[in-house]
Amino acid sequence: MGGSTPGGGAHERFTVTGPANTNGCDMKYVYDLFFLIFSIIYLPYLIFKGKLHKDFMERFAFLPETFKKLDSPIWIHAVSVGEAAVASKLARKLKENFPGAQIVVSTTTKTGNSMIKKNADFLDGVFYFPLDFSFVVEKVVRIIKPRCFCMIETELWPNLLMTLHKNNVPVVLVNGRISDSSYRNYLRIKWFFGRIFNSIDLCLMQSEVDAERIKALGAKRRIAVTGNIKFDELDDVFGKKVFTKESFGFSHDDTVIVAGSTHNPEEKMVITLFKNLKKRHKNLKLIVAPRHVERTGEIKSYLEKEKIKHLLLTEILNGQFSGFDSADAVLVDTIGDLKYIYNASSIIFVGGSMVKKGGQNPIEGARWGKPVIFGPFMFNFRAISNIFLAAGAAIQINSESELKAVLEDLIVNPEKRESLSKKAIGVIDSNRGAILKTVENIKKYVD
Q: Is 385 exposed, middle or buried (0-12, 13-18, 19+ CB in 10 A)?
A: buried
pLDDT of 276: 97
DSSP string, 192-243: HHHHHHTT-SEEEESSHHHHHHHHHTT--SEEEE---GGGGGHHHHTTS---
pLDDT of 233: 72
Q: Name which of 377, 434, 438, 368 is nearest 97 in CA terms.
A: 438
pLDDT of 319: 80
Using 70 as the pLDDT threshold, list the residues of the chain that sit under it.
1-27, 29, 35, 38-39, 42-43, 45-54, 234-241, 321-325
Strands 347-350 and 148-152: unpaired
Q: Name which of 128, 112, 46, 119 is nearest 80 in CA terms.
A: 112
pLDDT of 111: 83
Amino acid identity of residue 420, one-letter, is L
Contact 316, 248 (CB under 8 A): yes
Q: Name which of 228, 189, 221 is nearest 203 in CA terms.
A: 221
0.75 exceeded by pTM? yes
State pLDDT tens for residues 227-254: 999 898 765 555 566 899 999 989 999 9
pLDDT of 289: 98
Phi, psi of 134 (to 5 degrees): -55, -45
Q: Quick one: CA dihedral 49, 340, 424, 398, positive or negative?
A: negative
pLDDT of 197: 92
In sequence order, what are the beta bridge partners of 307? none
pLDDT of 56: 79
The 8-class DSSP code of residue 292 comes to S
Amino acid identity of residue 179, one-letter, is S
Q: Rounded distance, CA 272 to CA 403, Å?
A: 12
Instruction: Say how many C-beta atoms besides its own lie within 10 A of residue 257's C-beta.
Output: 23
pLDDT of 47: 62
Report cis status (omega within 30 of 0) of the bond before 371.
Answer: no
Q: Rounded distance, CA 259 to CA 257, Å?
A: 6
SS3 2: coil
pLDDT of 8: 36
State pLDDT tens for residues 357-404: 999 999 999 999 999 999 999 988 888 999 999 999 999 999 999 999
Q: Rounded distance, CA 231 to CA 208, Å?
A: 17
Strand order in the sheet with 103-107: 125-128, 103-107, 74-78, 148-152, 171-176, 202-205, 222-225
